[in-house]
Amino acid sequence: MGRKNVIVGVLVVLLIVGSWLVHQKMTDETYLGMSIIPEQHEDIPLYKGLEPTRTHYVIEGDHWQDIYDFYFKELPSLGWVKEYSGSALDDNDSENDWGGFDSRWTKEGFVGELSVSASYNQYEDQTEVMFDQTPIHHATKWINEVPDSLCIYDTVNEEGCVVVDDHEKIQKIVGFINDAIDWEGESPKGQKTGAIVIGEKTIKVLYGDEIELYFQSEMGLKLMKAEPEFFEMTGLKSRQE
């Protein structure tokens, strides 16, 4: 009798553990592509009827305006501060056939920004809502005045440079440098290294792939997307290919 009870007990434990593992797997897959899950935050309410589907939430029918009203009422009452919002309600162009909104919010103690957006998918007849937690990036201005000319070096050890004196090109190059975000990580290794000399400032350009590049100077390190226009303006990529 005792042995039978032990076996039954073991089977019950295995059933509980198995059920938990299945639930855990389903939960992980349900929220697989989400950077933030509203159900895990008391100050991020979930509009009634929304169902998670890996990357976003859905509800049958066209409800984006109701969802808009809900979040623009509830979030401020929970301490969120609106940093940006845009919606089809602000679009007066009759040719633009869309329905939805996007918004960004911040709150003391919350790391980064909370993005809440919704759109109506007329083909599926459902409203799709997305929540996202994104870091807040800063871009320190390195160059205060646009110079009359600048020098671009293929490598930091090169003696001669290519002088750029086209005002429009210089403005764009300076804009790229100033708008690049401040980067706290380490400088990349094994990158091609060019240099841009602007007045007394020497700014190294570290790049090596099609995704991103870095600016490095005594003021720190900056990161930006490897924009084709930047390479067109500086000629760095074409000269080192």
Residue with tokens 């918004």, as numbered in its chain: 103
DSSP state, residue 148: S
How many other CB atoms sit within 10 Å of the CB of residue 234? 21
Residues 140-169 pLDDT 10s: 999 999 999 999 998 888 888 899 999 999
User: What CA–CA distance (Å, rounded) separates 122 from 206?
Assistant: 45
Could you tell me the pLDDT band of residue 196, with boundaries at 50, 70 and 90? very high
Contacts of 178 (CB under 8 A, 6+ apart): 139, 141, 142, 143
Query: Which amino acid would we find at residue 77?
Result: S
Asked whether the beta carbons of 31 and 52 are under 8 A apart, the reply is: yes
Inform me whether the pLDDT recorded for 214 exceeds 50: yes
125: left (phi over 0), alpha (psi -120 to 50) or beta: left
Domain boundaries, the chain: 29-134, 150-240
How many other CB atoms sit within 10 Å of the CB of residue 142? 19
185-190 mean pLDDT: 75
- 229, containing H or E segment: helix 228-234
Residue 192 to residues 103, 111, 184, 223, 232, Cα–Cα distance (Å) = 39, 34, 20, 15, 16
Which of 2-6, 199-203, 207-211 has the largest mean confidence?
199-203
Helix %, strand %, coil % of the chain (to 5): 30, 30, 40
Alpha helices in 56-166, H assignment, sequence order: 64-77
Inform me whether the pLDDT recorded for 241 exceeds 60: no
Query: If you count them, how many residues does the chain have?
Result: 241
User: What CA–CA distance (Å, rounded) separates 222 from 187?
Assistant: 9
Residues 56-105 pLDDT 10s: 999 999 999 999 999 999 999 999 999 999 888 776 665 555 688 999 99
